[in-house]
Amino acid sequence: MKISELNFTELVSSYDEKFPIYHILNEEGKVDDQEAMDQLNNEELLALMEAITWGRAIDERVILLNRQGALSNYAPGGGQEASQYGAVLALDKKDVFAPTYRDVFAGVKFGLKLSQAFLWYKGHYVANQYPKDLNMYSPNVIVGGTTIQALGNGIAKRMKGEKQVALSLCGDSATSQGDFYEALNFAGVFKANLIAVVQNNGYGISVPTSHQTKAATLAQKAVAAGIPAIRIDGMDPVAVYYTVKKAREYAIENGPVLIENMTYRFGPHTMSDVPKRYRADEEVEEWRQKDPWTNVK
């Protein structure tokens, strides 16, 4: 293109076209990418199904405990299990995991004691007393705080030549924070062994993603940092697991990766939230047709 042909509208549109949403299972749970599926064994697929089933069961139980007053405020994870557990199961125990407050129980599948997960919601100090072999940060309630935490570990692993990665989970609203951009910039410069997973559930509490950014995708925010990025169907646990597994291989040898998981939370932001105030029941029902727990079976 010559500069005399410059069209800024077309230029912005060209950015958006680079980030389609990839999947392995379709909304009916049927395989659309057999080649990718063939690269996973039965043990991996069974572990995924078990983790998501367990995650849904524990989420529903904790909601009841909260309503009974047995636990303090809780951020439900129902609907986001594919994004959470699919990512965690692709890690090695020597990797580093940086979760948010919504990913506490995903930490159990990384090695956190179940009792400590419950104690975290009780605000008990023992919840954060990890054994030395658990390479996990305490769940972060600071929006945008996890990526920059994991960054430090990712840089250290690159400098030491270690064959592990640091993975952070964050929400879409985290990408509106300065810490997130600083983390991506430093990750690119230092070729950090970092996998930054953005769980885009469409809302920052009640603020829709479209009110947080003009960008059509969150994946494209990695472009300025020179980092490869991809958008995944975050309701497809197989696609999430496969992508993080491949990203891990890449990050160890080459540097950081950003993954945007397109997902949805079925419940409220926290148990003190009233989602009917900002989203329609029809929207929730539409996303329930893509339920990762149903599809993975």
Indicate which residues carry an active-site annotation.
Answer: 265, 269, 278
**Type of residue numbered 234:** G
End-to-end CA distance of the chain: 49
CA–CA separation, 229 vs 207, rounded Å? 24
- Is residue 166 within 8 A of residue 191, CB to CB? The reply is no
- Is residue 255 within 8 A of residue 188, CB to CB? The reply is yes
Q: Residue 287 in 3-state DSSP?
A: helix
Q: Which of 44, 151, 47 is nearest to 96 (CA)?
A: 151
Q: Residue 136 in 3-state DSSP?
A: strand
Q: Residue 212 in 3-state DSSP?
A: coil
CA–CA separation, 266 vs 291, rounded Å? 9
Sign of the alpha-carbon torsion through 238, 244, 247, 248: negative
CA angle, corner 239, sides to 234 and 243, nearest 5? 100
